Structure 1
């Protein structure tokens, strides 16, 4: 098998990988080198690996190749396997395979390649937007989405019809990874990737059930309309089948609902669902509102009182146009605690935010100003 080694392995990823497998940094008089000490050799002395301190040094690649060979021998692994492990140290890898390439197995037309990269970029841009504010659609990208796309890297192409890889960071500052691991919290960058993969899996479920509303009704945790459109446009007018795969960094656990899910193929049935979902999500009109009502249910997938940054949910009964409706509120830890207290006392709350309706379901996001009201 051909070994696919990037032109230059990221230095930070390599350093972290060596630390993860038990090598430690040792003091060295040459300030242009980072020296790692590992297991003892046959003479009872620790083995050493020297890596240039700057990946722009002329001997960086050759030194890294030497290090890979040593690690491979010690751990009984091939160089390709080690390279893959290093690349997953600080990134998730999203793979896109163009399955219908016509007469050219390993190439695609240049205009299609340009559009493909733009559409894949939009998938990540608007995925980050929804992770910041879970709206059904966006007129234009939020700055958080633009920033996130700049962090992602375009990887090497690979064989198998025509494939390309996007390396998405699991965190935008590698130094802070330990902080997230200690708190067992998912960083924003991993949440964006999980949203994308969850959307693909729900798309697959929608196709199997012949029910596009499965995808539409999950926009709070999966695709917004722009994400649907980006995959739809990737199909080149629904003519090209697309294969999608994910390789997760082992640094964080994958959420249970998508753990073990992989190897999707988008075809004509998938594009019909995406087209339907994009149209339906674009019809939803959010507006600012203040609602009042008693708590009916409280819900959280994790410990609601933990410091982790995720949304908890409360459902209240509120009157709109003379009718009693149930409204799902997305709450942070502080506002969830207020809702919990009100529920215990059996008193109503007041909340302000962005309200919208899909089908028979009302939902409020960006909830602020939650307060307890006294029963009159």
Structure 2
């Protein structure tokens, strides 16, 4: 049996232990159903500190027929001086049941509240189990940018975007940088995930939370990159915008590898068992290598994605900053000349941009007056990017504020 007291009781948090047991099919047995043998076996070890007639432990049993009769005695509080040894017994039992090393079981328990991304760099860059600070800094900054870009793409699956949404940045900031690990020097990033709530409909799994969807998207994107290299085509990346990478994620991934380990980085994932469906994320290998060929593929895919026209319905609001007319602005009867305005518009998706719109004579005259008075205008239409220019097509509902 492994002694977890070396790292303190907090090394395996009680709430994480309970979440892990429930997620892996265990449940609390009612107090009246505790067997006489269980009561006898734990009487001296666990009942000695009882106060007010309440047990300071609960018995967990499995819903699996193969494990019927097996009971795990789990403490109710971390305040007991026996907490570490009690938890150690539970982990020892789980190690035997799951046929895994105790350290692996303990790690899985601590990570039940997270989906975990691990990244490994080649041994050639490691000296005495250490790497240069510049590499570590580049990795931390790079992986945060990748997670934020992936989160934005999950929120808005377009070929590219100009500015990261606040919700996406907030998600990346909530992720945690875990322990590095030996072997090929590795980084661990933990993506927090909320406890699963049972679906109101039997047999239907609840919808996965946003955090799980982000990590699944990243895993699917890496799988698409692997396929792209295999068939020497960017199609697996550029044809899967709805479920995979945008141009932004591709570019951030290439920057991360170039700045941290140009010879390659290996990514692999472990998913919290609280949410189902992780096994269906990809049907390929358990890990993904991103080296020079993969970097070349994602850079090329980013160019393809950025070349695609992206458009959506939008209402633009801001000041008129430019006026251009081939006709007399005051001649409302002249319908032949172009009358174009540029409106300075700011949004979370695009940042500050100048949006061009062609107006009819009456609307253009209002825009001229609004420009002279420093008043804002509003107009709706289809916002489209053409190279470096933004154009509002089919403008309607022009108003001066």
TM-score normalised to the size of structure 1?
0.64
User: After the TM superposition, which residues 39-188 of structure 1 pair with which residues of structure 2 at under 5 Å, given as runs?
Assistant: 48-52=73-77, 63-72=86-95, 77-87=100-110, 89-99=112-122, 101-102=124-125, 104=127, 106-169=129-192, 171=193, 173-174=194-195, 176=197, 183-184=204-205, 185-188=207-210
CA 179–270 in structure 1, closer or farther in 2 if over 3 Å, else same? farther
Give yes or no for contact 2:60–2:73 (8 Å, CA) kept in 1. yes
Matched, 1:267 2:291: yes
SS where residue 246 of structure 1 aligns? strand
- Structure 2 distance, partners of 1:214, 1:232, is 17
- 2:268 aligns to what SS in structure 1? strand
User: Which of the numbers 214, 217, 232 marks the counterpart of 1:210?
Assistant: 232
Q: Distance in 2 between matches of 1:34 and 1:355?
A: 64
Offset of residue 51 of structure 1: 4.5
Q: Structure 1 50/18 Cα, relative in aligned 2: closer, same or farther at 3 Å?
A: same
Question: Which is further off, 185-194 or 123-132?
Answer: 185-194
Give the equivalent residue in structure 2 for 1:371: none
Distance 1:253 1:88, change over 3 A: farther
Distance in 1 separating the partners of 2:202 and 2:136: 37
Aligned: 1:193 with 2:234: no
Superposed, which structure 2 residues align to 1:276-315 within 5 Å? 276-289=300-313
Deviations 1:177-231 (Å, cap 9, x if unpaired)? 6669964233222211111011101111111111123312322211112211222
Cα distance in structure 2, aligned partners of 1:45 and 1:220: 45
Q: Single out whichever of 90-99 and 149-158 deviates more from structure 2.
A: 149-158
Find 2:252's aligned residue among 230, 233, 258.
230
Q: RMSD in angstroms over aligned alpha carbons?
A: 3.9
SS of residue in 2 equivalent to 1:82: helix
Deviation at 1:10, TM superposition (A): 4.1
Task: Give the superposition deviation at 1:104.
Answer: 1.2
Long gaps (5+) in structure 2: 32-49, 63-68, 315-380, 388-401
Mapped to 2, the partners of 1:58 and 1:166 lie a distance apart of 32
Deviation at 1:261, TM superposition (A): 3.5
Q: Is 1:17–2:16 an aligned residue pair?
A: no
Deviates more, 1:62-71 or 1:101-110: 62-71
Deviations 1:158-191 (A, max 9, x none): 122211122223x3x3163666996423322221
Contact residue 113 and residue 195 of structure 2 kept, 8 A: yes
Aligned partner of residue 127 in structure 2, secondary structure: coil
User: 2:343 maps to which residue?
Assistant: none
Q: C-alpha displacement at 1:76, in angstroms? A: 5.8
Distance 1:103 1:46, change over 3 A: closer
- C-alpha separation between the residues in 2 aligned to 1:46 and 1:243? 39
CA deviations over 1:301-326 (Å, ceiling 9, x no partner): xxxxxxxxxxxxxxxxxxxxxxxxxx
CA drift of 1:252 comes to 0.8
Aligned residues: 289
How far apart in 2 are the matches of 1:357 and 1:121? Answer: 29
Distance 1:90-1:182 versus aligned 2 partners, 3 A rule: farther
| Distance in 2 between residues matched to 1:8 and 1:95, nearest whole Å | 20
Partner Cα separation in structure 1 for residue 232 and residue 161 of structure 2: 26
Q: Is the Cα contact below 8 Å between 1:52 and 1:59 reproduced in 2?
A: no
Q: Go from structure 1 to structure 2 and tell me whether the alpha carbon gap of 1:47 and 1:106 turns closer, same or farther (over 3 Å shift).
A: closer
2:65: which partner in 1? none
Quick check: 1:105–1:161 contact (8 Å CA) kept in 2? no
Partner of 2:47: none
> Does the residue aligned with 1:157 lie in a helix, a strand or coil?
coil
The whole-number CA distance in structure 1 between the counterparts of 2:279 and 2:96 is 34
Q: Could you say if the C-alpha distance between residues 278 and 12 of structure 1 is closer, same or farther in structure 2, counting changes exceeding 3 Å?
A: farther
